[in-house]
Amino acid sequence: MNRTVKTFSVTAALLCFAAMGCTDPTVAPKSSVSSANVFNDPNSYRAFLAKIYGGLIVTGQRGPDGNPDIAGIDEGFGEYLRLYWYLQEMPTDEAVIGWNDPGLPDLNTGLWGADNSMVNAMYYRVFYQVMLANEFLRQSTDAKLDSRGQFDPTLRTNVHFYRAEARFLRALSYWHGIDLFGNIPLVTEDDPLGATPPKQATRADIYAYAVSELNDIIGKLPPKGPSTYGRAIPEAAHMLLAKLYLNAGVYTGTPNYAGALTEAQAVINAGYTLPASFRSNFTADNNNSPELVFVAAQDGRSTQTWGGMTFLIHAGCGGSMSAANYGIDYCWGGYRMKQQTYRRFAAGDTRAAFFYTAGQTDSVSDRGDFTKGIAAPKFTNLKANGDTAQAKGMVDTDFPIFRVADAYLIYAEANIRGGGGTAANALTYLNAVRQRAYGNATANFAALPPVDTILAERGRELLFEASRRTDLIRFAVFTGGTYVWAWKGGTPGGSPLPSFRDLYPLPANELIANPNLKQNPGY
C-alpha cells in the first residue's frame, strides 16, 4: 500500500521551494514560482504541507538524489532522519558503524568538533524545516485566503488543519534543535523576511515556546483515524509534550515529571494497543500496527531516499547475512550493536529474536569490521507475513517516531520519579511492555523497580529508534565515567567524556555568518 499517497503526495510538492543551501530562517525558500501566484491554486496548500512532512524523509526535489535541499554534504547522508539517528545512536552504548565518511568516525567516539559535517547538516535540517513551516504559515492566513478569493469552506477547514500540522512539525524540529544543540535562534512566521540575523534564544525559552505551541494546537489538529495515518494528530502532540516534559530538567533545570505523566496518559487513553508481535512495528506494512502514534512515512515508489529507512534497513545488514531475508537487494554492511547493549537482553526476550549472531563476535574490537559486534536488523522491508514489499532498493517501512510502548515507559519513569499517577498503573504499563517481550508474565516485575531499571528497559524496547542519547543524558550517564561503553571517548573499552559533550556544537560557519550566536562551551 502506498502510505504516502494515502496521506499526502510528496511528489506533488515539486513546486515547493527548492532552497539548496538556504539555512537562514529569516529568508524565504527560493523557487522558480512565487508566493504571488503559486497559492492561487488551492491545491498548493496541501502540496506545501506535504513538502514539510517530506522533509523528515526526502532530501530534495527529485529524490533519491539530485537538486538537494541543503548543500555541503552527500545528499543521502544529509537526510533528516538519517542524521538524527546518527547523532542519537552512534555516540551511545547502542550503535557502532565502521564507515569512514567525513564526520562519522568521530560520532562513534564522542570526539566531534564544530566542523563535523554530520552535526552541521543536522543543524541545517532543523532550520530548513523551521523555514518551510514559517513560510507556509505566512502564506496560509485567513487574510491571505481572502485576498486570493479562496472562500470555499472545505478548503478553509483543511487549511486550518494544515496550519496546526505545520506548527506541530516546527515544534518537533525545535525539540530536536534544543535537545541536540541547546541555545539556538527562535524564528517564527512573525519575523520579517530579510531581517538581520536572528538572535540566539535560550534553550528554556524555545522549550517554553514549543510547549505553548503544542498546547494551543492540540484541539486544532485533524482527529485520529485511518485517513490521518502519518499526519500530526492530537495524540502526536500529546506525545511530543510528554517527551519535552520528561526532559524538562535537562532543558530548563526544572523537572516536570507530572506533565510527562499526564501527557503519556492522554496517549495511552486514546485507544492504541500493543500488537502481540513486537516486530510488526518495524515491517514494510507497519502502517497496520495499532501501536504507532506518529511516523516518518516512507514509500518505495513515492518517497525515495538513500537515508531514512532505506539506510536503516540496508545498513543493518552485512557479513554473512542474506539481503533477501530483509526484503532488500543488497547489504551495506553498516551498523551493529555494541556489546553493552547486546548483553542487556536476557534469555526469552523476543525483542532479541531478530539479532544475527552467525559469524559475528560479541565485542566491537574493530569498528571497521562488520563482524565485530552483533548485528541487530530490527527494521525490515518484508511485510509482517513475510511477503515482499513494492521494491527491494527503496523501502516501504515507516519509521516509528512515537509509539504507545514509549508512552507506557514514560508513565512508569515519571511515576517513579515523583510525577504522580499511581504505582499500580505504572507497574501495569511497565509489565505490559515486558509481557509482550517475553510472551508471558514470567519476566514481570512484582513491584516497581528502581528508576535506573527504566533506562535499561528503554534500551531494550526502543533499540535503534533514535532516543538513546537523550535518555542517557536525562539519566546523567552520557558523559562522565559512571558508565562507559565500547569506544566512548575513543578507546576500545571506553573512557569518560567531559560534560560539555552533552551538547553538540553549533556549526562554525554559522558563527561567522551570524555574530549573534555564541558557541556552546568546550568547542
Give the model confidence (pLDDT) of 380-412 as tens digits.
999 999 999 999 999 999 999 999 999 999 999
Q: Average of pLDDT values for 473-485?
A: 98
Of 82-96, 184-198, 237-251, 492-506, the range with the lowest mean pLDDT is 184-198
Length of the chain: 523
Of 13-22, 249-258, 428-437, 510-519, the range with the lowest mean pLDDT is 13-22
pLDDT at 499 over 90: yes
The larger pLDDT score, comparing residue 18 to residue 338, is at: 338
pLDDT at 17 over 60: no
Residues 191 and 200 sit within 8 Å (Cβ to Cβ): no
Closest CA relative to residue 76, chosen from 90, 60, 87, 88: 60
Q: Residue 289 phi/psi, 5° resolution?
A: -70, 135
Task: Tell me the three cell numbers of residue 430.
Answer: 511497565
Q: Average of pLDDT values for 486-513?
A: 97
3-state secondary structure of 296: strand
Work out the percent of the chain whose per-residue pLDDT is above 90. Answer: 88
The pLDDT assigned to 14 comes to 30
Contacts of 182-185 spanning 24+ positions with Cβ under 8 A: 182/503, 182/520, 183/518, 183/520, 184/123, 184/126, 184/506, 185/25, 185/127, 185/514, 185/516, 185/517
> E-assigned strands of 91-144?
95-97
Side chain identity at residue 373, one-letter code:
G
For cell 545498513, what's the residue? 315
Residue 265 domain-assigned?
A: no
3-state secondary structure of 93: coil
pLDDT at 452 over 70: yes
Direct distance between the N- and C-terminal alpha carbons of the chain, in angstroms, rounded to an integer: 47
Q: Residue 466 phi/psi, 5° resolution?
A: 65, 40
> E-assigned strands of 40-155?
95-97
Residue 512 domain-assigned?
A: yes
Task: Tell me the three cell numbers of residue 113.
Answer: 568538533
- Report the distance separating Cα 267 and Cα 14, nearest Å: 34
Q: Provide the domain count of the chain.
A: 1
Which residues constitute the domain of residue 194? 1-202+476-523
pLDDT at 463 over 80: yes
Cβ-proximal residues to 327 (8 Å cutoff; 6+ apart), any chain: 284, 313, 380, 381, 382, 388, 389, 392, 395
pLDDT at 183 over 60: yes
Closest CA relative to residue 309, chosen from 293, 286, 291, 343: 286
The pLDDT assigned to 3 comes to 44
> E-assigned strands of 74-145?
95-97
Closest CA relative to residue 68, chosen from 24, 28, 27, 18: 18
Residues 187 and 26 sit within 8 Å (Cβ to Cβ): yes
Q: What is the pLDDT of residues 267-303, one digit of tens each?
A: 999 999 999 999 999 999 999 999 999 999 999 998 9
Q: What is the pLDDT of residues 226-272, one digit of tens each?
A: 999 999 999 999 999 999 999 999 999 999 999 999 999 999 999 99
Residue 42 domain-assigned?
A: yes
Geometric angle at alpha carbon 389, from 388 and 393, rounded to 5°: 105
Of 66-80, 99-113, 409-423, 506-520, the range with the lowest mean pLDDT is 66-80
pLDDT at 9 over 80: no
pLDDT at 35 over 80: no
The larger pLDDT score, comparing residue 81 to residue 73, is at: 81
Residue 140 domain-assigned?
A: yes
Q: At what angle do helices 80-89 and 117-139 cross, to 10 degrees?
A: 130
3-state helix, strand, coil in the chain (%, to 5): 45, 5, 50
Q: Average of pLDDT values for 88-107?
A: 96
- Report the distance separating Cα 66 and Cα 51, nearest Å: 16
Residue 10 domain-assigned?
A: yes
The pLDDT assigned to 36 comes to 58
The larger pLDDT score, comparing residue 19 to residue 415, is at: 415
Q: At 116, which CATH number?
A: 1.25.40.390
Residue 182 domain-assigned?
A: yes
CB atoms under 10 Å from CB of 322, counted, come to 10
For cell 555494541, what's the residue? 338
pLDDT at 184 over 90: yes
Residue 291 domain-assigned?
A: no
The pLDDT assigned to 253 comes to 98
Closest CA relative to residue 488, chosen from 181, 118, 111, 97: 111
Q: What is the pLDDT of residues 39-52, one digit of tens each?
A: 999 999 999 999 99
Residue 230 domain-assigned?
A: no
Residues 284 and 396 sit within 8 Å (Cβ to Cβ): yes
Q: What is the 3-state secondary structure (H, E, C) of 149-160?
A: CCCCHHHHHHHH
Of 63-67, 158-162, 318-322, 411-415, the range with the lowest mean pLDDT is 63-67
Q: How confident is the model at residue 67 (pLDDT cuts 50, 70, 90)?
A: confident
CB atoms under 10 Å from CB of 191, counted, come to 14
Cβ-proximal residues to 493 (8 Å cutoff; 6+ apart), any chain: 484, 486
The pLDDT assigned to 514 comes to 94
Half-sphere exposure of 363 (CA within 13 A, CB side): 7
The pLDDT assigned to 25 comes to 57
Closest CA relative to residue 90, chosen from 341, 352, 320: 341
Task: Tell me the three cell numbers of residue 180.
Answer: 541536540
3-state secondary structure of 222: coil
Residues 155 and 42 sit within 8 Å (Cβ to Cβ): yes
CB atoms under 10 Å from CB of 324, counted, come to 12
